[in-house]
């Protein structure tokens, strides 16, 4: 009898174990667990951004409050982007879309329409920013491509506001206010994070004033029309080789830039990442060097879609431009770089 009672007890425990096991949730893969944990940490909603600076600003404001997903692949800029079916699905499930504005992201309207997400909140970071009109009809900004005169491909206003630290501050404030309207419970987080990032943008502005004020009124040459806001902010003039980075420069473009180099006595021509070859012959003919002014329209990889990457590259732009005007350099560690030794330029 004792043996039978013992077996009954074991049978009951076995049945109970099977019952409880059937009620338990199925085992998750490591990827599913990571996704679940991220979703819980992220405030249960998704924010879609368009490209590098907007992603960097949004991540700086959001912190861990929500999930931020960039619409464009990291190494593709708005000039080259081709929408995909998965982009429509992403916008269909998102709660917020953050864009630069000023006519840059013309691809968004059909995507938003097809996503049919009536709850989607769109934050235009250019709201309240004083824009600069596109320079249509200006001889300095009109080029002869294939014997046809065309100004650059931007709309009514030049969209590159993120390269001016002070206008970038307004963009960050717009993101902050837009997110507070959508998620008022996160207001304190958005306020604190945006204030911290604005301090870093103000530090960039101070660095630019320190390094570039000695060169006020001077002209620099860049690859395409990305720097009117930056140039205006620091009392400089920017001349570009091409209006659209996808278009090859014409002989007239090359001649115009050579004249600008000769008149301004530039030490360095500022090209873009991946476009160094376009300025090599110009540099040889003028005796100038070639450096980089990164328009920050794209990032090398998804890992670089961060506030730190944006700040570090902007610092490099400032220092490279100071060198182009003839500043000398000394080694130092950049506060914005991830343990990378950068270069600081000291005006003569």
| Its pTM surpasses 0.85 | no
Task: Inform me whether the pLDDT recorded for 146 exceeds 70.
Answer: no
CA distance 321 to 158: 21
pLDDT band for position 263 (cuts 50, 70, 90)? confident
Q: What percent of the chain is modeled with pLDDT above 70?
A: 76
Higher confidence at residue 49 or residue 341? Answer: 49
pLDDT tens sequence across 266-289: 778 888 887 777 778 778 877 888
CA 20 from chain centre, in angstroms, equals: 50
Higher confidence at residue 43 or residue 137? Answer: 43
Higher confidence at residue 339 or residue 309? Answer: 309
CA distance 294 to 272: 5
Helix or strand holding residue 163 (H, E): none
Mean of the per-residue pLDDT values of the chain? 80
**How confident is the model at residue 244, as a pLDDT?**
72
**How confident is the model at residue 8, as a pLDDT?**
43
CA distance 277 to 272: 10
Q: Are 223 and 240 in contact (CB under 8 A)?
A: yes
pLDDT tens sequence across 198-228: 999 999 999 999 999 999 999 999 988 999 9
Angle at CA of residue 239, ends 156 and 220, nearest 5°? 135
Task: Inform me whether the pLDDT recorded for 103 exceeds 60.
Answer: yes
Backbone angles phi, psi at 16, to 5 degrees: -65, -40
Higher confidence at residue 250 or residue 161? Answer: 161
Q: Any idea which of 144-148, 161-165, 193-197, 339-343 has the lowest mean pLDDT?
A: 144-148
Strand order in the sheet with 268-271: 237-242, 219-224, 268-271, 289-292
**How confident is the model at residue 238, as a pLDDT?**
92
Higher confidence at residue 239 or residue 262? Answer: 239
CA 181 from chain centre, in angstroms, equals: 23
Q: Which of 314, 335, 134, 140 has its CA nearest to residue 230? A: 314
- At the fourth CATH level, which superfamily is domain 42-132+163-202? Nitrogenase molybdenum iron protein domain (3.40.50.1980)
Q: Are 134 and 152 in contact (CB under 8 A)?
A: yes
**How confident is the model at residue 113, as a pLDDT?**
96
* Residue 217: how many other CB atoms lie within 10 Å: 7
């Amino acid at each position: 009898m004792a043996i039978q009672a013992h077996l009954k007890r074991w049978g009951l425990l076995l049945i109970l174990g099977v019952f409880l096991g059937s009620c338990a949730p199925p085992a998750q893969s490591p990827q599913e667990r990571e996704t679940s944990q991220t979703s819980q940490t992220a405030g249960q909603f998704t924010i879609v951004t368009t490209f590098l600076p907007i992603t960097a600003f949004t991540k700086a404001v959001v912190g861990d409050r929500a999930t931020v997903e960039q619409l464009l692949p990291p190494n593709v800029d708005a000039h080259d982007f081709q929408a995909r079916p998965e982009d429509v699905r992403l916008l269909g499930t998102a709660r917020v879309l953050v864009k630069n504005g000023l006519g840059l992201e013309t691809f968004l309207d059909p995507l938003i329409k097809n996503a049919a997400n009536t709850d989607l909140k769109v934050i235009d970071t250019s709201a309240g920013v004083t824009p600069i009109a596109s320079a249509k009809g200006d001889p300095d900004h009109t080029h002869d491509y294939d014997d046809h005169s065309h100004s650059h491909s931007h709309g009514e206003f030049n969209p590159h506001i993120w390269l001016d630290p002070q206008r970038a501050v307004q963009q960050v404030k717009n993101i902050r206010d837009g997110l507070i309207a959508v998620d008022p419970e996160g207001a304190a987080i958005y306020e604190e994070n945006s204030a911290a990032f604005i301090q870093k943008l103000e530090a960039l502005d101070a660095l630019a004033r320190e390094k570039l004020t000695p060169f006020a009124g001077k002209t620099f040459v860049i690859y395409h029309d990305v720097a009117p806001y930056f140039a205006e902010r620091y009392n400089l003039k920017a001349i570009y080789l091409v209006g659209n980075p996808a278009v090859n420069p014409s002989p007239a473009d090359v001649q115009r830039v050579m004249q600008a180099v000769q008149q301004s006595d530039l030490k360095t021509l500022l090209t873009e990442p991946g476009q160094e070859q376009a300025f090599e012959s110009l540099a040889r003919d003028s005796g100038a060097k070639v450096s980089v002014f990164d328009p920050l329209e794209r990032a090398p990889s998804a890992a670089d879609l961060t506030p730190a990457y944006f700040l570090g590259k902007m610092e490099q732009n400032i220092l490279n431009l100071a060198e182009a005007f003839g500043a000398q350099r000394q080694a130092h560690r950049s506060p914005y770089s991830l343990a990378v030794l950068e270069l600081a330029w000291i005006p003569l």
